[in-house]
Structure 1
Amino acid sequence: MFSDEFYPRFSDTDALGHINNTCIPVWFEGAREGVFKLFTPDLDLQNWPLILAKIDVHFHAQIYYGEKVEIRTFVSRIGNSSFDVYQEVWQQGECKASGTAVMVHFCYQKQGAVAIDDNLKQILLSHAPTHQKNS
C-alpha cells in the first residue's frame, strides 16, 4: 500500500463548503505516483509506459477543508498487460471516497499494450490489500 497525507487547499472547496467532487480524481492521480515509479523510477515522460484506460470514483461522505486527508493506494488486480489501482480517501478515521483506475502497460512506439514482466507483477502484488496477498 502507498499512503499520501496532506491538507486540502482552500481552492479545493466549492460553494457548499466541502471539497469539490472534481478534486478527488486529481488527488488520486497524484497518489498514484508511487505506482508510476515502479515502472519509470525517474518519471521520465519520454519513457512513460502507462496509459489510463478507465477511472471510477464513489463518494461516500463529504470531505472538508482544514482537516488532513490520507489517500491509500493499492494494486487490486494484475492482468497480463493491465492492472487496477484501488484508492481511498480517508478523513477523521472515515473512508470518504474510493475509486479504481485501470492502468495499461503500453508501448507508444507500437501503439499497443505489452505484457507486464513477472518481476514487476510480484512488486505490484506487494501493494495488494492484505486480504488479497494470501489468496
Structure 2
Amino acid sequence: MLTTQLAPRFSETDALGHINNTSIPVWFEEARTPIFRCFVPNLNPREWNLILAGFKVDYLRPTFYGHDVEVRTGISRIGSSSLQIWHQALQQNQVVAQAEVAMVHYDYANECSAPIPEPIRESLGALMADKPW
C-alpha cells in the first residue's frame, strides 16, 4: 500500500466551503504516480503505455481546506493486461472518499491492450493490498 500526504489548496474550495468534488480525482491520480513509474520510470508522455479504462468515486463526507488529507492506494488485482487500483482519502482520521480505478497496459501503435511484462508485474506485486471496504 502507498500513502500520500496532501494539503488541500484554498483554490480547491467551492461556494459551500467544501473541497470541490473535481479535486479529489486529481489527488487520486497524483497518488498513482508510483504505479505509473512501474510502467514508465521517467514519466515521459511519449513513452506512455497506460490508459484509464474505468474510474468510480464514492464521496462519503465533505472535505475541507485547512486539514491535510492522507490518500491510501493499493492494487487489488493484476490481470494479464490490466490492473485494479483502489484509493481512500482520509481527513482527520475519517474516510472522506474512496475510488476504484481500472488501468490497462496499452500498445498505442497497434491500438490494443498489451500483456504486462513480468518485471513490471513484480514491481506492481509489491503494491498489492486488499481493498479496505
1:102 CA drift (Å): 0.5
Corresponding residue of 2:76: 76
- Secondary structure at the residue paired with 2:4? strand
State the aligned residue count: 131
Aligned AA for 1:117? P
Residue 10 of structure 2 is aligned to residue 10 of structure 1: yes
Gaps of 5+ in 1: none
Aligned counterparts of 2:25 and 2:104: Cα–Cα separation in 1: 18
- Among all aligned residue pairs of Structure 1 and Structure 2, give the percentage whose two residues are the same amino acid: 41
Query: TM-score if structure 1 supplies the norm length?
Result: 0.92
1:116 CA drift (Å): 0.7
Aligned AA for 1:108? Y
Residue 35 of structure 2 is aligned to residue 41 of structure 1: no
1:6 CA drift (Å): 1.7
Aligned counterparts of 2:91 and 2:32: Cα–Cα separation in 1: 18
Corresponding residue of 1:123: 123
CA RMSD of aligned residues (A): 1.2
Aligned AA for 1:2? L
Once the two structures are superposed, residues 36-67 of structure 1 have per-residue CA deviations (whole angstroms, 9 ceiling, x without a partner) of 00111100111111000110000111111000
Runs of 4+ residues over 6 Å off in structure 1: none
- Secondary structure at the residue paired with 2:62? coil
Aligned counterparts of 2:43 and 2:31: Cα–Cα separation in 1: 14
Gaps of 5+ in 2: none
Once the two structures are superposed, residues 75-107 of structure 1 have per-residue CA deviations (whole angstroms, 9 ceiling, x without a partner) of 111111000110110111111100011000001
